[in-house]
Chains A and B, each alone.
Chain A
Amino acid sequence: MTDHTVSAASQAGARVSPLSRVREIVFSSPLVTLAAIILAVIVLSAIFAPLIVPHDPVRLSPGERLKPPSSEYWLGTDAFGRDLFSRIVYGGRISLVVGVMAAVAAVGLGLILGLLAGYIRWLDAVLMRMVDGLMAIPSILLAIAIVALWGASIWTVLIAITIPEVPRVVRLVRSLVLSAREEPYVEAAIAAGSSTWLIMRRHLMPNTIAPLIIQGTYICASAILVEAILSFLGAGISPETPSWGNIMAEGRIYFQINPGIVLWPGLVVSVAILSINLLGDAVRDALDPRMAKRGIER
């Protein structure tokens, strides 16, 4: 009985307009509101980077190497005399693009493969063995191997980050489809002569949307993290295009002279990922408090 009231309430919640839903989530706690504001600032400054930065992020000024913070160079300069603040602002562009695109690609690919695996028996067996295999390879190892072989560009980095994320999405979608298939309303659709395609589109796919939005935000956070790690290990995008990771990578050897080169971008990347994760948790709590049970955990 209690169960029914709860599910009725959550379904009723699903009917609220998307905009008020977003508002409700953003203001669910002060921490989440703060996260949303910080993320908005980071995204906007990445988009409008040329209007914000005081210096050209790639111009070399050999005379200005490793300067401490000043009114001219707010966070100081790096080993080539480039302005650290400007590089961090520009670096957000690569990191955010990688994060968002990896999330979209992994969710898209995982959705298609997961639906197929959940609905077509023979394909399921093959796909799930592949998924098991891919999950057995530690993601950072897989990513650096791909980048090492294929050369570092934004595309290979993107692929290298996306591939290890896909199996988890496939598993998630598959399990959602398998449990939804048991629902009487899906069986009623089968009895009504609905085609497999119609059943997938109408009855199965909508069940995956909320979990995928949440999984997507986690992938976005994780992709930014992995991009930073790849760059840090020297297997990322070349430093001509600044990214949060490669700024830190370049700063490593000068850490004892000017720790800011590592710590400032480190702070920004941590805060960005933290904000995305907090928002992801808030979305999860709002859309379905029981979702943790369905394997959406990192």
Chain B
Amino acid sequence: MLLYILQRILAAVPVIGFVALFVFLLLRLTPGDPAAIIAGDTATPAQLEAIRDSLGLNEPLLIQFFTWIGQLLQGDFGTSILSRKPVIDLIADRMEPTISLALTTITLSVLIAVPLGVIAAWKQGTLIDRFVMLLSVLGFSVPVFVIGYLMISTFSLGLGWFPVQGFKPISDGIGPFLHRITLPTLTLTLLYIALIARITRTSMLEILGDDYIRTARAKGLPERTVLMRHALRNCSVPIITVIGIGFALIISGVVVTESVFNLPGLGRLTVDAVLSRDYPVIQAVILLASLIYVAINLLIDIAYVLLDPRIRYS
């Protein structure tokens, strides 16, 4: 079992390595002069030279790569071209709103989506099932920012229940925090309900067709026990996987939600960096997001061990 976890950790190394290489090459292999792209059309030769210097673009490619990797390993993610601050500090400053939004979203959507998925599978083909499926397709189809603006026009502009935008940290009190985080959370939650409910329903349906479910019924167990004790327990692996991966990739949704509600989080930082072509920041955010993805996948693998005796004892 320890061996299994060790294997998983080792398997993650090449993934991160590839991401780093990809991010590195993305800038270096752009058509044209990377410095000019970053500096924009109006840059003076001196500015260009400064950018080349700070990114080490004058060195041979291989040296650039290893210098960069060396810096990364020391925790040096470079300096923002726009603000001249270390990227790592910029990111640290912006973590809180993003983490808050991610946690509230995942919690709320799991609480709603898993029961919905279970019920939909159990009552397959009924009205409830169709409603859940339709809700789920809707969640995939309506862009997050459209939902966001609908929320704003209904609950902020229309009813005046919530502010249009902004963020208060939880240290300012739970009331103001919730007052501002509710709309962004609801906005992003629909997408996650769609994702999680759908996977829950699919895996549940598959497991309800398994032989041991028939065995459980043949034992004369009440349907509730069959569902909760036998089906859901076996279903937990795919459900946890989708929750984990959803959490790992939440930055995609956060980027948009934070823009709509003007939250000063990582997503906002990223969009600003993109608009001003602040590549060191973009690069660092991508690396960070991938690291989180890999780390969560590792946690999922460890969860497998706890949930599935077939892995635990092999």
* Bound CA span A134–B146, Å: 28
Q: Which residues of A contact B279 (CB under 8 A)?
A: 148-149
Q: Which residues of A contact B21 (CB under 8 A)?
A: 133
Partner of A138, one of B23, B146, B152, B289: B289
Q: Which residues of A contact B195 (CB under 8 A)?
A: 298
- Nearest CB in chain A to that of B134: its residue: A31
Q: How many Å from the CB of B61 to the closest CB on chain A?
A: 16
Residue with the highest number of chain B CB atoms closer than 10 Å, among A132, A134, A139, A274: A132
Q: How many Å from the CB of B90 to the closest CB on chain A?
A: 16
Partner of A141, one of B17, B34, B202, B252: B252
- The answer to whether B18 and A129 touch across the interface, beta carbons within 8 angstroms, is yes
Given contacts A144-B282, A233-B256, A234-B275, 11 further A-B contacts (CB under 8 A): A132-B15, A133-B15, A136-B293, A136-B294, A144-B255, A147-B274, A149-B279, A234-B274, A259-B149, A274-B141, A292-B202
* Bound CA span A130–B198, Å: 28
Contact with B along A137-171 (1 / 0, CB 8 A): 11111101111111100000000000000000000
Q: How many Å from the CB of A138 to the closest CB on chain B?
A: 4
Partner of B259, one of A132, A233, A256, A297: A233
- The answer to whether A141 and B199 touch across the interface, beta carbons within 8 angstroms, is no
Partner of B149, one of A129, A133, A262: A262
Q: Is B31's CB within 8 Å of the partner chain A?
A: yes
Q: Which residues of B contact A8 (CB under 8 A)?
A: none
* Bound CA span A145–B26, Å: 9
Within 8 A of A (CB), among B11-60: 14-19, 21-23, 26-27, 30-31, 34, 37
- The answer to whether A263 and B289 touch across the interface, beta carbons within 8 angstroms, is no
Looking at the complex, which of A60-68, A114-122, A197-205, A224-232 is the stretch in contact with chain B? A224-232
- Nearest CB in chain A to that of B279: its residue: A149
Q: Which residues of A contact B234 (CB under 8 A)?
A: none
Q: Is A273's CB within 8 Å of the partner chain B?
A: yes
Q: Which residues of A contact B134 (CB under 8 A)?
A: 31
Question: In which size bucket is the chain A interface?
Answer: 35 or more
Q: Is B100's CB within 8 Å of the partner chain A?
A: no
Q: Which residues of B contact A96 (CB under 8 A)?
A: none
Partner of A281, one of B137, B248, B270: B137
- The answer to whether B26 and A266 touch across the interface, beta carbons within 8 angstroms, is no
- The answer to whether A232 and B37 touch across the interface, beta carbons within 8 angstroms, is no
| Residues of chain B whose beta carbon lies under 8 Å from any beta carbon of chain A | 14-19, 21-23, 26-27, 30-31, 34, 37, 133-134, 137-138, 140-146, 149-150, 152-153, 157, 195, 198-199, 202, 205-206, 248-249, 251-252, 255-256, 259, 270-271, 274-275, 277, 279, 282-283, 285-286, 289-290, 293-294
- The answer to whether A142 and B143 touch across the interface, beta carbons within 8 angstroms, is no
- The answer to whether A263 and B150 touch across the interface, beta carbons within 8 angstroms, is yes
Partner of A148, one of B146, B251, B274: B274
* Bound CA span A279–B251, Å: 29
Q: Which residues of B contact A278 (CB under 8 A)?
A: 137
Listed by A's residue number, 17 A-B pairs whose Cβ atoms lie within 8 Å are A31-B134, A129-B14, A129-B18, A132-B14, A134-B18, A138-B252, A149-B34, A225-B141, A229-B256, A234-B271, A248-B146, A255-B149, A259-B149, A262-B149, A277-B140, A292-B206, A297-B202
Q: Is A212's CB within 8 Å of the partner chain B?
A: no
Interface of A is mostly: helix
* Bound CA span A133–B279, Å: 20
Partner of B142, one of A129, A133, A235, A274: A274
* Bound CA span A232–B31, Å: 25
- The answer to whether A136 and B256 touch across the interface, beta carbons within 8 angstroms, is no
- The answer to whether B149 and A266 touch across the interface, beta carbons within 8 angstroms, is yes
Q: Assuming A263-B150, A270-B141, is B271 touching A233 (CB within 8 A)?
A: yes
Interface of B is mostly: helix
Q: Is A269's CB within 8 Å of the partner chain B?
A: yes
Q: How many Å from the CB of B216 to the closest CB on chain A?
A: 20
- The answer to whether B282 and A145 touch across the interface, beta carbons within 8 angstroms, is yes
Q: Is A221's CB within 8 Å of the partner chain B?
A: yes
Give the 8 A-B residue pairs with the shortest CB-CB distance, closest first: A133-B18, A266-B146, A140-B252, A274-B141, A273-B141, A270-B142, A136-B290, A148-B274
Q: Is A293's CB within 8 Å of the partner chain B?
A: yes
- The answer to whether B255 and A140 touch across the interface, beta carbons within 8 angstroms, is yes
Partner of A235, one of B26, B140, B249, B274: B274
Q: How many Å from the CB of A136 to the closest CB on chain B?
A: 4
- Nearest CB in chain A to that of B278: its residue: A148
- The answer to whether A137 and B149 touch across the interface, beta carbons within 8 angstroms, is no
Q: How many Å from the CB of B196 to the closest CB on chain A?
A: 12
Q: Which residues of B contact A281 (CB under 8 A)?
A: 133, 137
Residue with the highest number of chain B CB atoms closer than 10 Å, among A137, A150, A267, A273: A137
Q: Which residues of A contact B157 (CB under 8 A)?
A: 256, 259
Q: How many Å from the CB of B282 to the closest CB on chain A?
A: 5
Q: Which residues of A contact B198 (CB under 8 A)?
A: 297-298
Partner of A133, one of B22, B153, B255, B289: B22
Partner of A146, one of B16, B26, B251: B26
Within 8 A of B (CB), among A251-288: 255-256, 259, 262-263, 266-267, 269-270, 273-274, 277-278, 281
Q: How many Å from the CB of B100 to the closest CB on chain A?
A: 18
Partner of A297, one of B199, B277, B294: B199
Q: Which residues of B contact A232 (CB under 8 A)?
A: 143, 145, 256, 259
- Nearest CB in chain A to that of B294: its residue: A136
* Bound CA span A149–B30, Å: 7
* Bound CA span A236–B134, Å: 30
- The answer to whether B138 and A274 touch across the interface, beta carbons within 8 angstroms, is yes
